Amino acid sequence: AMKRVRKTFWHRWLGAVLLVGGLAVAAPAEGAVLEAEAVWAAAETALAARLATEEKTVSYQWERFSALPPAIDVPDGEIALEANLPNGVRYGVPTAVRVQVRQGEARLYDWQLTFQVRRYARTVVAARDLPAGTLLTADDLRLAECDVTRVRGGRYDAVEAALGLETSRSLAIGSVISETLVKAPLLIRQGETVRLLARHGAVMVETTAEALTNGRSGTLVRVKNLSTGKVLVARVQAQGVVEALAR
C-alpha cells in the first residue's frame, strides 16, 4: 500500500495539456497558473512507480518535506512535467525527486522536492522485554505490523524462523527481531564434556572430549580427547557434539 495525495491540480482552465510520465492529460485552468499540487502529483507518481519495484512484502508511506508556492505562473500552451529520482529511494534520510516544467524545448522550472519515505512490514518482534543472552521461545515472540525503515539486517516473517536463537543484547518489548540482534546459541561451552566424532573412511568413531573453547553451530572449537589427552580442532555439529577435522 502506498500513500497517494489526490487533489485538484490546476487553478483555472489553461487550454493546455499536462504531460506526466509521457501521458497527456487535460489540464484544467484558464489563464496561465499552475498549482503546486500538480507538481507534487508528478513527483509522487514518479516516487510510487519506483517504490513498485522495491521489496514486495513491504508497504510504503511518505511525507512531503519541501515547499512550493501555491500557484506558479506559466505561459499559455502545452506544458510538460517530467519527474525522476536522481538518487533512487533512500530510507532514513530524505528522498529527492526532481521535477522539471517544460514547454517545448524550454525549461520553465526545475525543482528538487524531498520526501521522507517509510517502510512497514509484518515481522517478528519481541513479545516482552528480553535480556541479552535469552534463548528465544514462542512465548518471547509475536508478529506485528511495524515501521522497519531503520531496521538493519534481515528480518523474520515467521516466529518459527527465530526460535532457538540467542539475543545479542537486551531488547525492549516491541523491538523488531533482526539478524543483527540475534545469533546462533552456544552449543558447546568451555569446560563441558562433549561427544567427539572422528571419521576414518566409511567408519565413524566416537569418544569423549573436554571442550576448551565455546562454539556455535558450524564453528570450530578446540577440544581435548579424554582418552589420549591430545588437543584437536573440531567442528560443532549439534548440542554437545563435535566432529574432529580430517588431517
H helix count then E strand count, the chain: 2, 18
The pLDDT score that the predictor gives to residue 3 is 40
Question: Greater confidence, 11 or 237?
Answer: 237
Q: Phi first, then psi: what are they for 197, rounded to 5°?
A: -100, 140
Quick: pLDDT tens for 46-70: 999 999 998 888 999 999 998 888 8
Query: pTM above the 0.85 mark?
Result: no
The answer to whether residue 10 scores a pLDDT higher than 50 is no
Span 125-157, pLDDT tens digits: 999 999 999 999 999 999 999 999 999 889 999
Does the structure show a pLDDT above 80 at 43?
yes
Which residues, 6 or more positions from 105, have their beta carbon under 8 angstroms from its beta carbon?
A: none
Q: Which of 11-15, 87-91, 94-98, 133-137 has the lowest mean pLDDT?
A: 11-15
Give first-to-last CA distance, the chain, whole Å. Answer: 57
Alpha-carbon distance of 192 to 212, in angstroms, equals: 8
Cα 241 off chain centre by? 36
| Average pLDDT over every residue of 17-39 | 58
Work out the number of other CB atoms within 10 angstroms of the CB of residue 52. 10
Residue 21 has pLDDT above 50, yes or no: no
Of 182, 151, 150, the C-alpha closest to 164 is 182
